Structure 1
């Protein structure tokens, strides 16, 4: 597959992607992202609701073909974020991560502390480079000195506020901390797009665009399709597992970013990634084969992959017996859980595969 950036930019709903990337959606506090998704989804489906777990669900009724079962297609709203662990007397904050990441994934710099009564601008910092062994916490992270990997116990958040001011803003242990909006703008790199949190806002965009395409074409899938925008995926697929249990159907298809590394024989210049297994579970071979066939017929050069150190809403759901079958379709992504880069035509490509799949889940 060759990437035509002009064609891709025309097909990609870039304003929607940028709006989603800019919205704060830490684990367990996905409200801002959910509001955008609900606004976009409501005119495109037959019913919309928020379930008890906080997932946004949209139902597009099928044509009533009883030979097909309902399908649940999921993309998660939450992002990698941080949690205030304690507040020091000087108003600095110590953090613990929400999801698998390290300070180096996002770098030192501006963060947003989401207090209950307001957002507090702050800075994630290590401290001065100009230090000696007396500043042991800093010194041990220097590659030419202590040679220790930068981790959460090394860094802290400088707020510039007193503890009383933080309390007035509703900041306490358990408050979420997100990478600041100033670091969330899309960047074009040739025929590619880069930004933090393509995981999973790029897949959320593809799922919304799939609903938009089906609505615009007036086409109905053979069975009901549930568009599910899930919560708390980054800490164990909590929302997706609940939805798999609560909604009809026997198939959960997750949409994700997919790592592009030599160990998986995947490249960021290739087509959509179809997973056959990950660290948590094995995916349904027949469904994976169907996704590969559809992407091949669309001339998208799909990439089959057996993934490690990777989990999804679908693999969590099948691993605990909440769905009979699972599948995973990914956008080829450079630097997952970091500054993520995808082909500019990857979201339209995923959308095309999804449209064809929900209309014809079997050959």
Structure 2
């Protein structure tokens, strides 16, 4: 074990993380991210498939040596926050709204990719000129020394430089997804930290895939079946995760997420893995949370217990909908969640180590429904 608590087997697959961050995966259009994860997962598991909801599922079969050890479902979501075209204006500009909970300030003004059905169109998310007076009411009211309103979706639009006919030919219409452009999706080093949009949940997908690799290449096979699930539509209510909890065997759903690091939760981006005990959607199973805390402590990671507000996950949605009996939440400590997110370089392999030990632990009972 190294000084930071990570065994020599665990690693951060940085090229994979960058590939996942660069892939567009708005809600309902997660194909590119799912394809990458399937490519990586397929050689590591016994079986892989895409379910009716669009979730990617990889099964690692357990030894079956203990009938009291039912399957565990591990979930990290494929989708990302994005924008949705509400209408196409006569000048070719696009009026957009949020797809998932976020605001224009979270993304910042700048380049976007408009995912037309036939062509990806470059665009610019813009407010307009700051050199305006009250006559330009939409802009004026956002000025801190004037109208003093916070920037919202009614204030911004997407400039495309295209005619409506060109946009129609590209397959752009109401319902088209608009994503932060790839030029703004490059990993940025800040000392021992990495920053980028959409660490939520691409960093957790990277950790989940690393855990699958460790299971595949390790000498121990889990006693129970493990389902690794890349879920869809988490950002709009845990839709894919709830479906997977209902249709896959087992009674425990464990979500991998980014975790907010703020004073109100006594969490820090420099600390160890965050273990959730509740969020605004539901409480998490105490025995599962306690075991995650114990494992992270035993590995030397100084875990952070948290009672979260304004937060939801695939696991809490699943348990609140009655589709799983028990739930757990393991988080990467993350600065500026749902914005330009920052995580420690060591945090992703640390999550993999905790998850691996949890999945191999025979002290976590669960029936085989």
Per the shorter chain, which TM-score range? over 0.9
Aligned to 1:278: 279
Q: Secondary structure of the equivalent of 1:210?
A: helix
Aligned to 1:229: 230
User: For the residues of structure 2 that align with 1:117 and 1:3, how far apart are their CA atoms?
Assistant: 51
User: For the residues of structure 1 that align with 2:285 and 2:142, how far apart are their CA atoms?
Assistant: 44
Structure 1 residues 82-121: aligned runs within 5 Å: 82-121=83-122
Structure 1 residues 134-173: aligned runs within 5 Å: 134-173=135-174
8 Å contact from structure 2 (residues 47, 60) kept in 1: yes
User: For the residues of structure 2 that align with 1:132 and 1:222, how far apart are their CA atoms?
Assistant: 68
User: For the residues of structure 2 that align with 1:361 and 1:30, how far apart are their CA atoms?
Assistant: 34
How far off is 1:296 after superposition?
0.2
How far off is 1:295 after superposition?
0.2
How far off is 1:222 after superposition?
1.2
Q: Secondary structure of the equivalent of 1:200?
A: helix
User: For the residues of structure 2 that align with 1:51 and 1:137, how far apart are their CA atoms?
Assistant: 45
Q: Secondary structure of the equivalent of 1:228?
A: strand
How far off is 1:219 after superposition?
2.2
User: For the residues of structure 1 that align with 2:291 and 2:314, how far apart are their CA atoms?
Assistant: 20
How far off is 1:361 after superposition?
5.0
8 Å contact from structure 1 (residues 3, 343) kept in 2: no
Aligned to 1:301: 302
Normalising by the residue count of structure 1, what TM-score does the alignment of the two structures yield?
0.97
After superposition, the C-alpha distances for 1:171-201 in whole angstroms (9 at most, x for unaligned) are 0000000000000000110110000000000
Q: Secondary structure of the equivalent of 2:234?
A: coil
User: For the residues of structure 2 that align with 1:309 and 1:90, how far apart are their CA atoms?
Assistant: 38
Q: Secondary structure of the equivalent of 1:11?
A: coil
8 Å contact from structure 2 (residues 275, 303) kept in 1: yes
Aligned to 1:256: 257
Structure 1 residues 205-224: aligned runs within 5 Å: 205-224=206-225
How far off is 1:221 after superposition?
1.1
8 Å contact from structure 2 (residues 194, 343) kept in 1: yes
8 Å contact from structure 1 (residues 3, 344) kept in 2: no
After superposition, the C-alpha distances for 1:264-295 in whole angstroms (9 at most, x for unaligned) are 00000000000000000000000000000000
In the alignment, is residue 49 of structure 1 matched against residue 30 of structure 2? no
User: For the residues of structure 2 that align with 1:362 and 1:163, how far apart are their CA atoms?
Assistant: 61
Aligned to 1:20: 20
User: For the residues of structure 2 that align with 1:309 and 1:226, how far apart are their CA atoms?
Assistant: 28
8 Å contact from structure 2 (residues 292, 354) kept in 1: yes
Aligned to 1:132: 133
User: For the residues of structure 2 that align with 1:26 and 1:217, how far apart are their CA atoms?
Assistant: 34
Aligned to 1:36: 36
- Equivalent residue pairs, number: 360
Normalising by the residue count of structure 2, what TM-score does the alignment of the two structures yield?
0.96
- Judging changes above 3 Å, is the alpha-carbon distance between structure 1 residues 122 and 3 closer, same or farther for their aligned structure 2 residues? farther
| Structural RMSD (CA) | 1.5
8 Å contact from structure 1 (residues 25, 32) kept in 2: yes
Aligned to 2:350: 349
Gap regions ≥5 residues in structure 1: none
Aligned to 2:185: 184
8 Å contact from structure 2 (residues 11, 210) kept in 1: no
8 Å contact from structure 2 (residues 269, 334) kept in 1: yes
8 Å contact from structure 1 (residues 94, 156) kept in 2: yes
How far off is 1:3 after superposition?
9.2
